[in-house]
Amino acid sequence: MKSHLTLKAVLAVAAGTGLLLAGAPAQAETLKFISWQVNERGYGDWWNQAIAEFEATHPGVTVELSNVARPEYADTMTTLFASGSPPEIVHLASFEYQKFADNGWLEDLGPWIEQSDLDLTDWAGQDKCVWEGTTNCIMLLYFGFVMAYNERLLSEAGIAVPTTYDEYMAAARALTVDTDGDGIIDQFGIGHHTTAGNQYTHEMLNYILDAGGYWTDSEGKPAMNTPEMIEGLARWKTVLTEGLTPVDMTSNDTRQLFNEERVAMRVDGPWVYGVMRGADPEVFKHLKLAPPPFSPPVGGSSNVITMPSDISQEKKELVWDFIEIVTSEEFQKRFAQEGASPAPRPGAVRDSVYEAVPHFDLLIETQQAAAAAGVDRIPLGLEIQFNEFAKIVRNEVQRMVIEDLDPAEVAARLQTEAEALQ
Amino acid sequence: MAVQTDLQNRTERTLGSSSWIGRLRALDLSSPRHADKLGYILLAPAVLLIFVILVYPILLSVDLSLQDVDIPRIGETREPYTLDNYTKLFGSAEFWRASWVSLKLIVVVTSACFAIGLATALLVNQHFKGRTLARLFVALPWAVPEVIAVVTWWWMFDSSFGLINWLLVTLDLADKPIAWLSQPVPAFLVVSIVMIWKGYPFVSIMLLAGLQAIPEDHYQAAKVDGAGAWQRLFWITLPSLLPVFGVTMILVVLWVFRDFAVVFILTGGGPIGATQTLSMMTYEQAFGFFRMGFASAIGVVTLVICVLATRLMVSRMAKSMY
């Protein structure tokens, strides 16, 4: 009798639960979204605004935003895709998306774009999202480098803001000093990323571009054994051997040193302004931005948004709605305002942006200068192998500095190794 | 009761006397005859768990290493078997250089850890005022999380603003700051120092435990026979510690061999490969260049080296002692 009662009770609970579930609204949908910008001032705020807008216009759908630090980002995303559980909203750096596209993991966005009102004409850097003839992403940022400098340090040394490579080097030499006389240089003219990582290659590129060189030619073939490249390598070697930059530093370290007045000049992306705002107010008033003394400036694509190819059609539609929000005119204007960077959508600027970002015209100017010169940090033809290529460059250039090798010898070796890589 | 017996008999008739229920009922696990079976049954969950968390990943690595694959995906068609990854690996100068760096690191770090570990263990095994505090300080580096410790050392060895360079220049031990992490030899030295600092407390703790297990009678007898401090060290302490030495050495060697955080944070394997170990190379190939098959081949070779080294040390230490 007791067991009959128990069985009845279980059946009653099950039936009740079923009725409740049947009467409940459709199950809430969650879109996973991972980014390295969640906690970044400006960009993080913009993402949160876009999520709020999406959730408001899609009742019952939530976006679960998680932060993964940039150094672990590629590992994390690779693991998630390889295990078959990628986030629905995919945010990737423009130098790493190609590997995911090459594996067929990213959706062909061509049909989605065609069906929508999204006009990608003159969308900055969008051509970089085309991989093997397929549009795999939407570009979120294309930028040109600017030069951040400490006005007080330069004026105290009687130096004008440099506008050419020669002036820049003269300023760097004058500003690299031992301020407290303890025999150790504690103020550097320039701050560069000089440790492991691809940023080493990006920062070196300033000198190579100014000397007229580049990693590859217009057909994507290695073009490193050229007089211009040799000159660029020689310039980088000069910066390091003369000790004009602190060594063993990441780009973040040098940004912090810039904020602490230990580095006088740093050529960097538009995001440097966000870092500068973190400086002590007394220091911040001396921190300024100017066009870089290199022509053309380093520039290029930064990060992209896309979706996986193997999620359900229903989720793809939701993700596309999210992409439409972030690429809308309103949100592109907000991007410029919040991120203090020119948005890729043409004309996405509102007047109020100049109040928050007084140097906004400078950002547009360097973005256009880089775009006009067809510059990108990721060399054409070496996109897939970029990490390995960057390591080869770093190793050979470090060897040049350590063993005092002739830049011509290094350029020849780089050419051979890059050709073997392709 | 009668109803129950009847049901039991009917069930047995239905299933037959040779059914598994009958056999299971006949298996009296409490009897000495089946004691071994009980042991196996009790061990089964643990064995299963070990298989899932230990053996399966190893088998997966071996499987991947035999495929020419960049980024594998669960559930997708596998690539055909090939030895290409191993052929490429053994023909790669980078692999041999990484092996050489790993070997150098093992020799330097293990030797130093044992020298410092033994010295500190002997010291804190003595009776003196403040011994508890001394033991705490000896063990402290082991307790500090590795990443925090490495980042702290990284700042201390910073070429431009680090404490070490400031001390060297201020004390006139160097005429200019040393580029610790940008030059091959200093970079290797820094990696070794940090690993020694992190690793010696473990050796010290293990040897201290070994020292405390040596009967005091041995020393008393040796003293009566006129043995000096050095003689007692060489003829009583060190031979008695040999089994502990063996186990500790295996653990330290394996730790140095597979440690990743120290090299990754300090140098990333540079400059020009001076600190690139096999574990760094594995990581770089897998998550830097996305060559999972090749990275797995490095992992498998590393595993084989570790197993051989362990086997060799176990045999040698066992023979030395017994």
Q: How large is the average pLDDT for residues A133-145?
A: 93
Residues of chain A with C-beta less than 8 angstroms from the C-beta of B184: 402
Residues of chain A with C-beta less than 8 angstroms from the C-beta of B287: 74-75, 78
Contact B289 A388 (CB under 8 A): yes
Output the CA torsion B63→B66→B71→B75 (10° steps).
-40
What pLDDT shows up at residue A265? 97
Task: Please give, one letter per residue, the 3-state secondary structure of B98-139.
Answer: HHHHHHHHHHHHHHHHHHHHHHHHHHHCCCCCCHHHHHHHHH
CA A105 to chain B, closest CA, distance in angstroms equals 10
Name the residue with higher pLDDT: A22 or B289.
B289
Contact B288 A246 (CB under 8 A): no
Residues of chain A with C-beta less than 8 angstroms from the C-beta of B161: 186, 246, 262
Comparing CB atoms, the residue among A247, A385, A394 nearest residue B160 is A247
Q: Do the Cβ atoms of A373 and A296 come closer than 8 Å?
A: yes
CA A261 to chain B, closest CA, distance in angstroms equals 13
Under DSSP, the state recorded for A155 is H
Q: Do the Cβ atoms of A407 and A230 come closer than 8 Å?
A: yes
Q: How large is the average pLDDT for residues A298-316?
A: 93
Secondary structure class of A158 (helix, strand, coil): coil
Q: Is A45 exposed, middle or buried (0-12, 13-18, 19+ CB in 10 A)?
A: middle
From the list A364, A379, A377, the residue with the least C-alpha distance to A414 is A379
From the list A191, A104, A189, the residue with the least C-alpha distance to A153 is A189
Q: Do the Cβ atoms of A182 and B166 come closer than 8 Å?
A: yes
Q: Do the Cβ atoms of A247 and A240 come closer than 8 Å?
A: yes
CA A135 to chain B, closest CA, distance in angstroms equals 21
Q: Do the Cβ atoms of A194 and A246 come closer than 8 Å?
A: yes
Q: How far apart are the first and last CA of chain B?
A: 63
For A70-88, how does the pLDDT look when each residue is reduced to its tens digit (9 = 90+)? 878 988 998 899 888 999 9
Q: Which residues contact A396 (CB under 8 A, 6 or more apart)?
A: A410, A413, A414, A417
CA B278 to chain A, closest CA, distance in angstroms equals 17
With both helix axes pointing from N to C terminus, report the angle between B131-143 and B184-212 in degrees, rounded to the nearest 10: 130
As a whole-number percent, the residues of chain B with pLDDT over 70 amount to 88
Going across the sheet that includes A146-150, the strands are A188-190, A263-268, A146-150, A287-290
Residue A113 CB: number of other CB atoms within 10 A?
A: 18
Q: Please report, for residues A382, B18, B123, B139, B199, the alpha-carbon distance to residue B144 in angstroms, rounded to integers and kept in the order given.
A: 42, 62, 22, 9, 11
Residues of chain B with C-beta less than 8 angstroms from the C-beta of A239: none
CA A279 to chain B, closest CA, distance in angstroms equals 19
Residues of chain B with C-beta less than 8 angstroms from the C-beta of A196: 267-270
What pLDDT shows up at residue A13? 47
Kindly report the average pLDDT of chain A as a whole number: 89
For residue B91, pLDDT over 60 is answered with yes
Confidence of residue A339 (pLDDT cuts 50, 70, 90): confident
From the list B129, B135, B271, the residue with the least C-alpha distance to A399 is B271
At B318, which helix (H) or strand (E)?
A: helix B292-321
Secondary structure class of B56 (helix, strand, coil): helix
Comparing CB atoms, the residue among A82, A183, A184 nearest residue B72 is A82
Secondary structure class of B67 (helix, strand, coil): strand
What pLDDT shows up at residue B258? 85
Q: For residue B111, which amino acid is it?
A: S
Confidence of residue A96 (pLDDT cuts 50, 70, 90): confident
For residue A355, pLDDT over 90 is answered with no
Complete domains list, chain A, with CATH: 29-142+301-372 (3.40.190.10), 144-299+376-421 (3.40.190.10)
Distance CA A329, CA A127 (A): 20
Q: How large is the average pLDDT for residues B45-65?
A: 90
What pLDDT shows up at residue B322? 41
Q: How far apart are the first and last CA of chain A?
A: 78
Domain boundaries, chain B: 86-321
For A174-227, how does the pLDDT look when each residue is reduced to its tens digit (9 = 90+)? 999 999 888 899 999 999 999 888 899 999 999 999 999 999 998 999 999 999
Kindly report the average pLDDT of chain B as a whole number: 87
- Domain B86-321 belongs to what architecture? Orthogonal Bundle (1.10)
Residues of chain B with C-beta less than 8 angstroms from the C-beta of A247: 159-160, 179, 181-182
Q: Helices marked H in A42-127 — which ranges?
A: 43-57, 70-82, 97-102, 110-115
At B140, which helix (H) or strand (E)?
A: helix B131-143
Q: Which residues contact B67 (CB under 8 A, 6 or more apart)?
A: B78, B79, B80, B81, B82, B85, B293
Q: How large is the average pLDDT for residues A291-306?
A: 92
Distance CA A421, CA A219 (A): 16
Output the CA torsion A214→A219→A220→A223 (10° steps).
-40
Retrieve residue A361's tokens: 């015209």
Q: Which residues contact B183 (CB under 8 A, 6 or more apart)?
A: A402, B271
Q: Name residue A64's beta-bridge partners.
A: A32
For B121-164, how does the pLDDT look when each residue is reduced to its tens digit (9 = 90+)? 999 998 888 888 999 999 999 889 999 999 999 999 999 899 99
Distance CA A186, CA B144 (A): 30
How does DSSP assign B216-270, residue by residue?
Answer: HHHHHHHHHTT--HHHHIIIIIHHHHHHHHHHHHHHHHHHHHH--HHHHHHTTT-
What pLDDT shows up at residue A300? 84
